[in-house]
Amino acid sequence: MVLLWVISALSLQVAVSFGHPLPAGCSSRTEPDPSFAVDVKLAGKTYVNKGLVAFGLIPSNFTESTGDTLGGIGSAIALKRGSFSQNSNGSFDGTFITQPDRGFNVDGTIDWQGRQHQIDFVLTPYYDADNLDFDDALGTLKLTYRNTLLYTERNAQKTTGLDALAVRPAEASNNNVTIPDPALPIAETNEHMSLDAEGLVLNADGTFWTSDEYGPYIYLFSSEGDLIETLQPPEAILPFIDGKLNFTSDTDPDTGRAGNQGFEGLTVDSTGTTLYALLQSATIQDGGSDKSTSRYTRLVAFDISQPLVSRPPVVGEWVVPLPQNKKGNTLAASEVHFVSDNVFLVLSRDGDGHGGDDNNSAYKQADLLDISSATDIHGSKFDDPSNPIAKKGKLDKSITPGTYESFVSFIDDTQLARFGLHNGKPADQTLIDAKWESLALAPCFDPDFPDDFFLFTVADNDFISTQGISLGQPFDAGLDVDNQFMVFRVTLPGASATGVSTESTH
Ligand SMILES: *[C@@H]1O[C@H](CO)[C@@H](O)[C@H](O)[C@H]1NC(C)=O
Ligand SMILES: *[C@@H]1O[C@H](CO)[C@@H](O)[C@H](O)[C@H]1NC(C)=O
Ligand SMILES: *[C@@H]1O[C@H](CO)[C@@H](O)[C@H](O)[C@H]1NC(C)=O
Ligand SMILES: *[C@@H]1O[C@H](CO)[C@@H](O)[C@H](O)[C@H]1NC(C)=O
Ligand SMILES: *[C@@H]1O[C@H](CO)[C@@H](O)[C@H](O)[C@H]1NC(C)=O
């Protein structure tokens, strides 16, 4: 076994870790308790949820290297390439790259630069049925913040979180860029590119793709965080007001993505050549102006095999039927993750839990999506916003949507209790966070279960802290919502987690 420790050259900051090793004698099982297994069949394959195996947190008042409060990190996570490996004592080491959205914006959007953080972890899966104390549970996923990378756009300008009230015309930017930019969302005040980052895909060459809510666009950044190029979705998804592109998140457009319902999900296939972006809920023309009609959203595929030769083209588009709550309101999608050809995990949820509208959450799940029999609407009349796929939320009869199956619930009371957590009141530190928005996979290296993976998810705490710092200024959001992390163990037949691990025992 070769263990390769990848240590960032930038790890100069004094590392602070959260969580301590599980006390001896706490854990007896080396495999999940079989009584927890829940099977789901999809397209002839059996997927298994084997339960929650680890939990960790970074406190809501933790300060990152720029001096700002670390928050919002669950908007997107990815495992740093080559970082995941198994230790001789059975634990696993790895590094998350986490990407927050647009800073503390409870009182309005702010001039906050886009960024990503490296966070190391030691995962010691807990498989027993007995309930751990909350403090002991934190030992199952020990977290160490390492460093932060800031994002810049054209002319080395900082990206901003400010609402995109203005538009920078297409190709008016630096002509020396390889691929000219389309019209870009910019702030009215400083004219910097507005970014509300939501999805993250790391490429083998160190560059990375970030999806956002304003465009909704997908940006390619260099390993130093500099903008390289911009992908635009089909016209049906672009926000138009009075016939003009208008990227504001404050109001809904006439057609295109609804305000704050952009590309929440971003993932890549196992060959690293097809990028998939998932819109959070339906476009306005497809019923997106109301939660009771917004379930038919779109998954768009781009061919990214030659990103610098020409702008990656759209190569496919499918309709995803999102789940609905008891009142018939859409449970919008916060993330998508590639599993195998035509199969994805989709994270759909309500906004309840710690920091949310209500303490009691009714739905937070990583579900399965199969698009193998779904209609590819790319290149059809539905690219034009005047042809809705689902007028007032009724799906056009010519379209077969993807198949959506319920899979891993994040709010199962038995599983939460094993880690000292709960759903519903009281609203304390052990209440599960409201906004889980990210998914990542890593292999379990278990020769008996070669299709078993760890499924990581991290919450977006919206920077809610009573001791916060934003742009150098202290703030008190009236509540402390920690950055929570969970790890499930799942069987995903035929899945791969390309590039994340340094070694494989099978
Ligand atoms: C965060 O809050 C805890 C509990 O109040 C306190 O002990 C700790 O010093 C605080 N950390 C920072 C960085 O403010
Ligand atoms: C297992 O080994 C890793 C790497 O050496 C270490 O970080 C972790 O604390 C160890 N776990 C226990 C329970 O001792
Ligand atoms: C976009 O719409 C908002 C709200 O209606 C408006 O204030 C803003 O000026 C518009 N921006 C452009 C570029 O038209
Ligand atoms: C393009 O590159 C040339 C040569 O490197 C430089 O002189 C010029 O200022 C650049 N143009 C812009 C618009 O940045
Ligand atoms: C959540 O629970 C707390 C008690 O811990 C209560 O004070 C609060 O009102 C509850 N919130 C809602 C929205 O019901």
Query: Tens digits of per-residue pLDDT, 409-461?
Result: 999 999 999 999 999 999 999 999 999 999 999 999 999 999 999 999 999 99
Q: Which residue spans within 193-303 are E strands per DSSP? A: 197-202, 208-212, 218-221, 227-231, 240-241, 244-245, 263-268, 274-279, 296-303
**Coil, helix or strand at residue 36:** helix
Question: pLDDT of 155-211, one tens digit each?
Answer: 999 999 999 999 999 975 555 667 899 999 999 999 999 999 999 999 999 999 999
pLDDT for res 16: 74
Residues of the chain with pLDDT under 70: 1-15, 23-25, 172-177, 503-506
Q: Which atom of ligand 1 is least distant from the CA of 480?
A: 2
Q: Rounded to whole angstroms, how far apart are CA atoms 50 and 54? A: 12
Long-range contacts of residues 269-273, Cβ cutoff 8 Å, at least 24 apart: 269/338, 269/341, 270/338, 270/340, 270/496, 270/498, 271/498, 272/203, 272/204, 272/304, 272/498, 272/499, 273/303, 273/304, 273/305
Cβ–Cβ contacts within 10 Å for residue 26, how many?
Answer: 17
> Ligand 5 pocket check: which of 350, 352, 359 to mutate, most ligand atoms within 8 Å of Cβ?
359
- Atom 13 of ligand 2: nearest residue by CA position: 21
Measured from the alpha carbon of residue 185, the closest ligand is 3
Helix (H/G/I), strand (E/B), else coil: 315: strand
Alpha helices in 256-412 (DSSP H): none
Q: How far apart are CA 217 and CA 213, in angstroms?
A: 7
From the list 336, 252, 264, 246, the residue with the least C-alpha distance to 290 is: 252
For the record, the structure tokens of 407 come out as 């899979």
Q: Give the binding-site residues of ligand 5, using a 6 Å CB cut-off.
A: 358-359, 425-427
60 CA: nearest ligand 1 atom: 1
**CB-based pocket (< 6 A), ligand 2:** 21-22, 87, 89, 91, 122, 124
8-state DSSP, 154: G
* Residue 387: Cβ-neighbour burial (10 angstroms; 0-12, 13-18, 19+): middle
pTM over the 0.85 mark? yes
pLDDT in the model for residue 329: 98
How far, in Å, from the CA of 429 to the mean position of ligand 5?
Answer: 13
pLDDT at 177: 66
Predicted local confidence at residue 172, as pLDDT? 54
Residue 14's pLDDT is 52
